[in-house]
Structure 1
Amino acid sequence: MINFSTFIDEFKGTKDCEGAMCFIVSDADTNQIFDILNDRRNFKLRAYFQRFTLKARKKVTHIVMDINAPYDSFVKDVFACAKISID
């Protein structure tokens, strides 16, 4: 389950990643890793997060992320109730 406060970011993964960068999702309060995805492209992220119910996604109240413009668009669509903080 995604936590109420969630941290998202990209990082350089290994050569077997699907995209150029990987994507990490963690609890913003405890820093515990929730999941690591081997692709950070928007369509992959949107599909990944939309597998959670709308009810679960509405419980996410806070997203911490960098100023990556593509993230902003999918976060606002997928987590409509979340406030965004820039790290």
Structure 2
Amino acid sequence: MGLGLLVIVGCFAVGLYFGNGQTKVFVATIAGVAAALSGFLNRTYLQMYGQTLSQLNRYFEQPVLTGYYLTAERLAQNLGEDPESER
């Protein structure tokens, strides 16, 4: 992200330095392409980060679900054959 910003600022500085019209158009084109590429890479990185967090949440949710299943199994083993007759 920082590199993309650096390229854009650098192109802006070069465009201000040179007075030639063609040079300014060329530098502006490079800055536009750099901004588009930087935006694409940033978006891709943030999407991958979101997917990674989602997968980590599913991974760490598994022990909690296993604990729930084991608790239910223990409770079921403590029940008699006919739980209503114990009342």
Bucket of the pairwise TM-score, normalised by the shorter protein? under 0.3
Larger CA Rg, structure 1 vs 2:
2
Which structure ranks higher in relative contact order (CA pairs < 8 Å, sequence separation ≥ 6)?
1
TM-score (norm 1): 0.21
TM-score (norm 2): 0.21
